[in-house]
């Protein structure tokens, strides 16, 4: 890449880092519930992910699927009027046994893992960004695992799983991750 773009990339990385810190910092300062912070993270993870055209056409709704009785579901509903890179955000609440077929983002809470087949099998061959609040989820094929460390949210990324799903996670997001596998 030409050297002229290196300063631009560095400035963008700093801006993204500052923006994420402000979102988390503002919410923390206002004592926002943990679930609102998780919803904000899910939204930001989607912002910094690209899906293949075959799986997400221009202007098509970006469906975020979550278990019906998820703790983060109410906070996600507040984000439904937003859009992600030109795609209107749609939240889908799924009951046990319901298909996750048309999801582009799947959020699996820690306790949902026991009710579902391993994520690697469930979403095999699909371009679905998988996110969980189970700290060890990246070892199970989930792409992004959210954790709390020293009273702050951190996340790990399974870049191999994302590549296998034909998803492109921005290098800006990869740099913010605690660990990338």
pLDDT, one tens digit per residue, over 20-73 is 444 444 444 444 689 999 999 999 999 999 999 999 999 999 999 998 888 898
Tokens of 10: 């560095």
pLDDT, one tens digit per residue, over 80-133 is 989 999 999 999 998 877 778 889 999 998 766 555 555 556 777 789 999 999
Nearest to 89 by CA among 129, 138, 126: 129
What's the pTM value of the predicted model, to 2 decimals? 0.80
Query: What domains lie within the chain, and their CATH numbers?
Result: 5-180 (3.40.50)
Q: Is 34 helix (H, G, I), strand (E, B) or coil?
A: helix
Rounded Cα–Cα distance for residues 83 and 99 (Å): 24
Rounded Cα–Cα distance for residues 11 and 2 (Å): 16
């Amino acid at each position: 890449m030409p050297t002229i773009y290196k300063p631009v990339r560095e400035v963008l990385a700093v801006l993204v880092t500052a923006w994420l810190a402000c979102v988390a910092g503002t919410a923390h300062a206002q004592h926002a519930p943990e679930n609102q912070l998780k919803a904000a993270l899910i939204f930001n993870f989607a912002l910094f992910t690209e899906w293949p055209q075959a799986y997400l056409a221009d202007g098509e709704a970006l469906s975020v699927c979550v278990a019906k009785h998820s703790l983060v579901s109410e906070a996600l509903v507040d984000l439904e009027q937003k859009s992600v890179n030109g795609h209107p955000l749609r939240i889908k609440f799924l009951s046990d046994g319901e298909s996750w077929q048309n999801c582009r983002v799947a959020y699996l809470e820690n306790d949902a893992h026991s009710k579902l087949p391993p994520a690697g099998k469930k979403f095999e061959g699909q371009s679905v960004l998988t996110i969980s609040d189970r700290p060890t989820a990246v070892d199970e094929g989930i792409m992004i695992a959210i954790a709390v460390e020293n009273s702050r949210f951190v996340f790990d990324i399974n870049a191999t799983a994302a590549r296998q799903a034909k998803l492109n996670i921005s290098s800006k997001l990869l740099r913010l991750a605690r660990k990338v596998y």
